[in-house]
Amino acid sequence: MKKILMVFLALICCISLIGCGSDPKKEAERLNTEYYTNIKSIFEDWSKNMDPIVHSNQNFQDSNIQVSQITRDKTLPALTDLKSKFDKEKFPDELKPLQNSLNNLFVDMFNFYTQWSEPDGFFKMGPQNATVELLRLSNNILNSRLRYENEYSIIKNGKSNYKLDLEHYNKIKQGDSYAEVANILGMPGQLTYSSQGGYYWSESYEWVLDKKRISAKFENNKLKIISQFNLQ
């Protein structure tokens, strides 16, 4: 009976994509290489294809049509195939936060590329609204990326990747974009206020960790006011 049980357990380990008794760190490294690295490659390939179009002399509508075709024909199919493979993975409880953060990154990537895949997706919004929407979608990807990288760091290195301290706070400059500030801190901000009117829009964010806090106000995606509390 004991031999039968051992054989059964061995079969279960073979069938499972994660395997019995696997090292969470090694499994996290595999998942990082298998999915996060490929997500970045998909984005980099899309950016390379998009760059000459953006810097051409075409008008906005014609450029948008070309970008949408590349997105529909190449980028979305590649992302869909990768997500289908990801959905078949079996995650142990200790890697559930990593699974959730990767899944959220996939969702934000799909939202971004789905908007780009429509020939008049941004054009019909008008230049100003299109700019704001593009920034919103891009920042969502950034936030999901930073959350994933933090979860990965906790599993692999045993510590958070967030940098809410005076050293990194002092690297922030007036005029920085939200993305630049978030990348310096290695941490997504929490949107606390947003308004838009005409060619002006304003957003406020907070970064909070334990008793430490950074508050920042951006106007047209440029840092105007920033303050901190209890940073060391």
Range of the structural domain that residue 37 is part of: 23-161
**Domain finish residue from 129, 146, 161:** 161
142 in the same domain as 45? yes
Q: Can you give the CATH number for the domain in which 131 is found?
A: 1.20.120
pTM, two decimal places: 0.85
156 in the same domain as 179? no
**Domain finish residue from 144, 161, 178:** 161
Count of structural domains, the chain: 2
153 in the same domain as 173? no
Which positions ≥6 away from 147 have C-beta within 8 Å?
A: 101, 104, 188
Q: Could you tell me if residue 2 is inside a domain?
A: no
**Domain finish residue from 113, 143, 161:** 161
Q: Could you tell me if residue 188 is inside a domain?
A: yes
Q: Could you tell me if residue 4 is inside a domain?
A: no
CA-to-CA dists, residue 185 to 35, 90, 100, 226, angstroms: 24, 32, 22, 13
Per-residue pLDDT of the chain (232 residues; tens, 9 = 90+): 444 334 433 433 433 333 444 689 999 999 999 999 999 999 999 988 877 876 776 676 677 778 888 999 999 999 999 999 999 999 999 999 999 999 999 999 999 999 888 877 666 777 778 788 889 999 999 999 999 999 999 999 999 999 999 999 999 999 999 999 999 999 999 999 999 887 789 999 999 999 999 999 999 999 999 999 999 9
Q: Could you tell me if residue 103 is inside a domain?
A: yes
